[in-house]
Chains A and B, each alone.
Chain A
């Protein structure tokens, strides 16, 4: 089933929205190619008005808003998680602590904010993380989630057809591999510790960290020694 009812509906709404409400956000920075779930009606103006109102009433601090964006867009991100993974690959003691108490071990590297459980991928076990009810994700070590992680398609299908979902990411697993799906339904977050790729025995910890992708830490990819442009 390649074209779903939703895609047809989305296309129709996009066409209607294009004439009724020009996408102001799009005029600002919109040079990529992706499917919109909807065309918002002047969200830029609505958000500006709301922010001004809340600042004027003293209910939010504008500097704190800037700090929030700076923190979650730039200070935290998948590079943090990659550091955790690379450390686990080179330091057996750290790996044991990480699997026993993810939050504490990740805290050793200076990252905190969530209660984090680390699940290890092996040749026999493949772990995959999802949040079927909303978009829960380990912000402190992976940053904010990409659009696909929050999409209806990923949220709905990961629990009933994880192998089909993985195939869509280009990862095909044999029947001898056990798939474990972790649905983040409470205030507990999950990080996948991917398998260290073969042929990396001589790489230093920082070089190993550079190989680790965000997708591998969500469990929709393996770490390879081939550098790729996306999915960082």
Chain B
């Protein structure tokens, strides 16, 4: 979706204020939201997809963890873990209608153990090779996508073939994993932003094969 979350290249968002905005958490409730958001164990495409459904004006106005809290409730309802009535009353009226995996303390420890982050899903051939020129497709899906607007239609070079991962657009819609190769693609600043941009600088983005076409 061409939503406000897809911010790359916008210019009117004000100064960054790095010194003032150096904290990770501002309040205890933010810690609890962080933990809940991770403990309910949705996939990242599903979580991100829900965050992207927050109305644009709210998305810009809300603090980070307020957005997480806002997205969490509809996620829980859609997954039939809770009902709207339970959210309203705060009281359980029955068991969840969906058998849900409950994250344990022991499991949390494994999330930061070595070898827990590899994307090994073999068996799919790579369509593109390093140094090959590709064009990011001009596509505007209504659902979740990880193809930012600022690279669409632009020509880049495959810097590195990164291995196979799930296709987030499909996962977010419940259409399965659609595993495919991911590529790090280099776009020159001039290709992205035109002649006034730096002649030396570039932007690298990690893009699924379905986002790319030969150029």
Interface residues of A (CB under 8 A from B): 1-2, 4-7, 9-10, 13, 25-26, 28-30, 32-38, 40, 43-44, 46-54, 56-61, 63-69, 71-73, 75-76, 103, 106-108, 110-117, 132-135, 139-140, 143-148, 150-163, 165, 168-169, 175, 177-188, 215, 220, 230-231
Contacts and interface: CB of A to CB of B under 8 A. Distances in A.
A215 B81 CA distance: 39
Given A140-B112, A230-B19, A183 B39 contact: no
Nearest to B47: A134
B13 A152 contact: yes
Contacts of B112: 71, 75-76, 111-113, 139-140
B82 A112 contact: no
B8 A160 contact: yes
Interface in B107-129: 107-109, 111-119
B141 interface: no
B78 interface: no
Contact of B201 (A33, A117, A180, A182): A180
Contacts of B192: 159-160
B105 A6 contact: no
B71 to A, nearest CB: 11
A75 B110 CA distance: 13
Contacts, number: 330
Instruction: Tell which of B16, B24, B30, B48 has the most Cβ of chain A within 10 Å.
Output: B16
A156 B208 CA distance: 22
Contacts of B36: 47, 50-51, 54, 60, 65
Nearest to A124: B200
User: Is chain B's interface secondary structure helix, strand, loop, or mixed overall?
Assistant: loop
A140 B115 CA distance: 12
A169 to B, nearest CB: 6
A230 B198 contact: no
Contacts of B91: 53, 56
B72 interface: yes
A59 B66 CA distance: 21
A116 B115 CA distance: 11
B19 A5 contact: no
Nearest to A159: B8
B169 to A, nearest CB: 12
B153 to A, nearest CB: 16
Contacts of A72: 34, 38
Instruction: Tell which of B14, B24, B48 has the most Cβ of chain A within 10 Å.
Output: B14
Nearest to A9: B61
